């Protein structure tokens, strides 16, 4: 049994213009202790998937259907009180904006201690002592002084470290990180990614990393789920995904990113573009979600949605024409 099993997740929002199918039938699993990246561009449903796991979607206008099992327990049927026992305790989350996700009028020590007081019944003093330990763990210098400080006294990188300390305070089994380094500078991003890798070794929590940055995925993840327009289009271990992407969208995405060092090999070429725009999620899409932008699309693609098939061991792709054997993949890319 996997730690987290998501099956046919559908998160829809009712809006005045109709129903927005933000997540439309997504399934994947997260094993204990593994790092899974969910990648895609804005509006592909990656953040909504994460919010759905923690049931942070306001209902209404949102509506979550399908199944989300954590440790074998169905989360979608739980009461709000039962959910609260899980949030921040067994599953916790790091958000993108360290500026807005901390409470500006409470000390960071209080905010780290909050989950400990609520979930583990620690008293004020014990919670603060543990908060200092946590600050030390995430590499904040002078933790005994910093624990009494307010978020505005810390830099962006430090605030993100505090967010990580809050998330890890109760030793969760699953950590969901939604674009944890997107708002940070390159050198600070390197610090935070290094910290996450180090903590993962020490704490052993599984991580679901939500990001649009393929560089971050390559550096941190073990397995990758690629989302497009509310659906999962490809899933594979990180090596095969980058070496041998099967879905035309993943191929396009990888081709559109300039690579550091490209000017030195003399292989610098024009970036490949994915023509057109992401389709509106307000209409139900018949057929393949990527058909409108795919160079290989045929009538079949426009009529029949391709099923997710194993194209190689552990490598799923939702494409009628993605070859099953790795030998054929080169021909597909060349075509």
Nearest partner of 147 among 175, 127, 167, 164, judged by Cα: 127
Binding mask 241-260 for another protein (x = CB under 8 A): -x---------xxxxxxxxx
SS3 230: coil
198 near another protein, judged by CB under 8 A: no
Of 93-101, 164-172, 236-244, 302-310: span binding another protein (CB under 8 A): 236-244
Of 92-100, 171-179, 264-272, 324-332, the segment contacting another protein by CB under 8 A is: 264-272
Pick from 110, 119, 187: nearest CA to 155: 187
Please provide the DSSP assignment of 294-325 as one string: -TT--HHHHHSPPPPEEEETTEEE--SS--SS
Residue 193 beta carbon to another protein: minimum distance, rounded to whole angstroms: 7
Least distance from another protein to the Cβ atom of residue 153, Å: 12
Give the residue, chosen from 56, 65, 268, 307, that forms a contact with another protein under the rule CB under 8 A: 268
> Which residue's CB is nearer to another protein, number 205 or number 214?
214
- Piece of 64-72, 118-126, 217-225, 299-307 that binds another protein (CB under 8 A): 217-225
Q: Tell me the CA distances in angstroms from 321 to 288, 292, 305, one per residue in order.
A: 11, 15, 12
Among 16, 42, 60, 104, binds another protein (CB under 8 A): 42
| Nearest distance in Å: CB 270, another protein | 6
Q: What angle do CA 276, 221, 51 make, to 5 degrees?
A: 70
Among 56, 190, 300, 304, binds another protein (CB under 8 A): 190
- Closer residue to another protein in complex, CB, 155/171: 155
In Å, what is the CA distance from 153 to each residue of 99, 104, 106, 148, 165?
Answer: 11, 10, 12, 10, 17
The smaller minimum CB distance to another protein, of residues 119 and 146, is found at: 146
* Distance of closest approach, residue 37 Cβ to another protein, in angstroms: 11
Q: Examine residue 16 and tell whether it contacts another protein (CB under 8 A).
A: no
Instruction: Kindly write down the DSSP assignment for every residue of 78-147, as one continuous string.
Output: --HHHHHHHBTTTEEEE-S-TTTSS-TTS-HHHHHHHHHHHHH---HHHHHHHHHHHHHHTT-SSHHHHT
**Does residue 116 have a cis peptide bond before it, meaning omega lies within 30 degrees of 0?**
no
Binding of another protein by 157 (CB under 8 A): yes
Binding status of residue 105 toward another protein by CB under 8 A: no
**Which window, 63-71, 185-193, 298-306, 312-320, contacts another protein (CB under 8 A)?**
185-193
Q: Using the rule CB under 8 A, is 265 a contact of another protein?
A: yes
**Cβ atoms of 300 and 291 closer than 8 Å:** no
Q: Strand 315-317 and strand 309-312: pairing?
A: antiparallel
d(CA 251, CA 127): 48
Residue 298 engages another protein in binding (rule: CB under 8 A): no
Chain residues in the site for another protein (CB under 8 A): 41-42, 155, 157-158, 185-191, 193-194, 212-219, 238-239, 242, 252-265, 268, 270-274, 277
């Amino acid at each position: 049994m996997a730690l987290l099993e998501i099956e046919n997740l559908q998160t829809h929002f009712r809006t005045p213009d109709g129903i927005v199918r933000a997540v439309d039938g997504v399934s994947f699993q997260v094993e204990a202790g593994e790092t899974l990246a969910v990648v895609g561009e804005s509006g592909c449903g990656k953040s909504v998937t994460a919010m759905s796991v923690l049931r942070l979607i306001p209902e209404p206008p949102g509506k979550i259907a399908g199944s989300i099992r954590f440790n074998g327990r169905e989360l979608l049927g739980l009461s709000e009180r039962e959910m609260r026992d899980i949030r921040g305790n067994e599953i916790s989350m790091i958000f993108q904006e360290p500026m807005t996700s901390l409470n500006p009028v409470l000390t960071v020590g209080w905010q780290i201690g909050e989950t400990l007081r609520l979930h583990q019944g620690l008293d004020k003093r014990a919670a603060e002592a543990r908060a200092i330990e946590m600050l030390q763990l995430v590499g904040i210098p002078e933790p005994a002084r910093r624990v009494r400080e307010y978020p505005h006294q810390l830099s962006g990188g430090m605030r993100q470290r505090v967010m990580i300390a809050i998330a890890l305070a109760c030793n969760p089994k699953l950590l969901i990180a939604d674009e944890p380094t997107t708002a940070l500078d390159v050198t600070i991003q390197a610090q935070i990614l290094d910290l996450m890798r180090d903590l993962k070794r020490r704490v052993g929590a599984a991580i679901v990393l939500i990001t649009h940055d393929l560089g971050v995925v390559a550096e941190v993840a073990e397995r990758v789920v690629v989302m497009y327009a509310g659906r999962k289009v490809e899933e594979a271990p990180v090596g095969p995904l980058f070496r041998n992407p099967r879905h035309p969208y993943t191929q396009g995405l990888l081709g559109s990113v300039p690579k550091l060092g490209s000017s030195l090999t003399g292989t610098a070429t024009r970036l490949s573009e994915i023509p057109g725009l992401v389709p509106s999620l307000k209409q139900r899409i018949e057929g393949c979600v990527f058909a409108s932008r795919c160079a290989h699309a045929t009538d079949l693609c426009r009529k029949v949605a391709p099923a997710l098939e194993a194209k190689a061991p552990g490598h799923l792709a939702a494409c009628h024409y993605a070859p099953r054997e790795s030998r054929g993949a080169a021909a597909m890319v060349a075509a």
